[in-house]
């Protein structure tokens, strides 16, 4: 009887894990990939949607195109996870596993920030980004805030990108001089592991007259007074609020008993939970690296090596490296790149490639190579 690998969540981590296992093991293993959605979206595509560069339909990649030996994709909603039994119950079926990998990502809790749902906008979900696309044309003057409402959050450079791209958007419309832009972040610098990247972003903010408020987060919004209240009690007036909502582990994960301090605790190098044969990768876990697709992808490759070794009796697990690269939109067609490493030294380090038009091709290759690898789409 074939061994059964159940992967819940088909984001960066789940897709990379299933692809790697299929490449190495083919039909020799029974891989079930479960996700409640019918399509995948790169996180950076939400910025494209928000600023009207693409429609939601144009950036969605349907899961039905997955056709890999040994892999079965099922679109179902996970209702319960029993880590001790390695059992996943969905709204339509029960899946028993020999190896269980949880890659469900993070959910958004707009309700944790009073007023956000009623008086602001969030752009981390596709529905939120699409809503902002319809809201932006009505904003012609006043104060715009890009505000983080809690940490940790996905893709730490994304708030900086939103502020810079908002500047470009308002410039194209000829109304930038009638508007202010303020960026509120809980970090002391935009990308703490990379001082060079942070300096470049802070310089870009200054050049574009974007106010940067570090080491603060938005605690609540007052619709009546049109102010954002920060965690130190200070207030900022706003006419347009673009928020990054508080992130939380999905409720089904919290109910499973796997979480500690809000997220699934894993061994930082093996990604295994306290339950043997049960792993967690990506945003739902807490190995000590940022919540970003490239880190989920790296974690998936490490777990894949562990499962391949266990299933074939050959080799051993490659430890999770805790390193990754991220492309950063500076606006004006310029893209920078930051490479960060969290585990090699005594503290996280980062290097920076200066923003240029040439790096756009690298970012496009990053996306096209994964479309080809995970979905069999031509580049």
C-alpha dist (Å) from residue 141 to 137, 208, 224, 243, 379: 11, 16, 19, 19, 41
- The DSSP result for 251-307, as a single string, is HHHHHTT-EETTEE---TTT-B-SSTTEEE-GGGB-SSS-S-HHHHHHHHHHHHHHH
Q: Order the strands of the 278-280 sheet from edge to edge.
A: 71-75, 29-35, 3-8, 99-102, 278-280
pLDDT band at 65 (very low <50, low <70, confident <90, very high): very high
Instruction: Supply the DSSP string of 58-88, one letter for each residue.
Output: HH-EEGGG---TTEEEEE--EEEEETTTTEE
CA atoms of 156 and 46, how far apart (whole Å): 15
- Long-range contacts, 253-256 (Cβ 8 Å, 24+): 253/81, 253/102, 253/104, 253/284, 255/80, 255/81, 256/80, 256/81, 256/82, 256/83
Whether the per-residue pLDDT at 378 is higher than 80: the answer is: no
| Residue 321 confidence (pLDDT) above 80 | yes
Query: What would the pLDDT profile of 176-226 be if each residue is shown by its tens digit?
Result: 999 999 999 999 999 999 999 999 999 999 999 999 999 999 999 999 999
Residue 379: predicted pLDDT? 56
Q: What is the mean pLDDT of residues 49-75?
A: 97
What pLDDT shows up at residue 367?
A: 97
| Token digits of residue 156 | 């730490």
The CA distance from 313 to 374, in Å, is 26
Q: Mapping DSSP to helix (H, G, I), strand (E, B) and coil, where does residue 217 land? A: coil
C-beta separation of 337 from 352 below 8 A: yes
User: Is the per-residue pLDDT at 317 higher than 90?
Assistant: yes
CATH code, residues 3-106+249-321? 3.50.50.60
Average pLDDT, the chain: 97
Q: Report domain 109-247's class.
A: alpha beta
Average pLDDT (63-67) is: 96
List the alpha helices (DSSP H) in 173-216.
195-207
Residue 191 tokens read as: 């990308």
CB 57 within 8 A of CB 74: no
Residue spans per domain, the chain: 3-106+249-321, 109-247
In angstroms, rounded to a whole number, what is the distance separating the alpha carbons of residues 317 and 268? 13
Angle at CA of residue 272, ends 325 and 91, nearest 5°: 95
pLDDT of 96 higher than 80 = yes
Phi then psi for residue 165, to 5 deg, are -75, -30
Residue 1, pLDDT score? 87
Looking at residue 359, its pLDDT comes to 97
**Farthest-apart Cα atoms in the chain, separation:** 68
What is the rounded CA–CA span in Å between residue 37 and residue 154? 19
Residues 6+ apart with CB under 8 A from 315: 305, 308, 309
Pairing assessment for the beta strands 334-341 and 121-122 based on DSSP bridges: unpaired
């Amino acid at each position: 009887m074939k061994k059964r690998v159940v992967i819940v969540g088909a984001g960066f981590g789940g897709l990379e894990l299933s692809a790697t296992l299929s490449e190495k093991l083919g039909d020799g293993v029974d891989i079930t990939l479960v996700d409640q959605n019918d399509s995948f979206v790169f996180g950076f595509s939400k910025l494209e949607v928000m600023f009207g560069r693409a429609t939601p339909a144009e950036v969605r990649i349907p899961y039905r195109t997955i056709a890999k030996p040994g892999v079965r994709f099922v679109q179902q909603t996970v209702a319960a996870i029993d880590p001790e039994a390695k059992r996943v119950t969905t709204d339509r079926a029960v899946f028993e596993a020999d190896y269980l990998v949880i890659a469900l990502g993070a959910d958004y809790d707009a309700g944790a920030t009073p007023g956000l749902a009623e008086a602001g906008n969030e752009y981390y979900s596709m529905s939120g980004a699409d809503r902002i696309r319809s809201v932006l044309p009505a904003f012609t003057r006043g104060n715009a805030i890009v505000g983080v409402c809690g940490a940790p959050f996905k893709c730490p450079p994304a708030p900086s990108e939103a502020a810079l791209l908002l500047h470009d958007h308002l410039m194209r419309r000829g109304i930038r001089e009638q508007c202010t832009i303020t960026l509120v972040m809980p970090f002391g610098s935009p990308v703490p592991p990379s001082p060079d990247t942070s300096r470049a972003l802070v310089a870009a903010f200054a050049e574009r007259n974007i106010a940067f408020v570090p080491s603060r987060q938005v605690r609540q919004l007052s619709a009546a007074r049109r102010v954002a209240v920060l965690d130190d009690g200070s207030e900022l007036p706003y006419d347009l609020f673009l928020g990054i909502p508080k992130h939380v582990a999905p409720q089904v994960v919290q109910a499973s008993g796997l979480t500690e301090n809000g997220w699934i605790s894993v061994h930082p190098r093996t990604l295994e939970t306290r339950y043997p044969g049960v792993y967690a990768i990506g945003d739902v876990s807490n190995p000590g690296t940022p919540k970003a697709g490239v880190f989920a992808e790296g974690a998936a490759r490490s777990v894949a090596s562990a499962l391949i070794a266990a299933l074939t009796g050959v080799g051993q697990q490659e430890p999770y490296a805790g390193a990754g690269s991220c492309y950063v939109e500076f606006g004006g067609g310029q893209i920078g790149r930051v490479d960060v490493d969290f585990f090699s030294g005594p503290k996280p380090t980062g290097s920076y490639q200066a923003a240029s038009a040439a790096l756009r091709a690298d970012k496009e290759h990053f996306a096209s190579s994964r479309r080809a690898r995970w979905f069999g789409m031509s580049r």
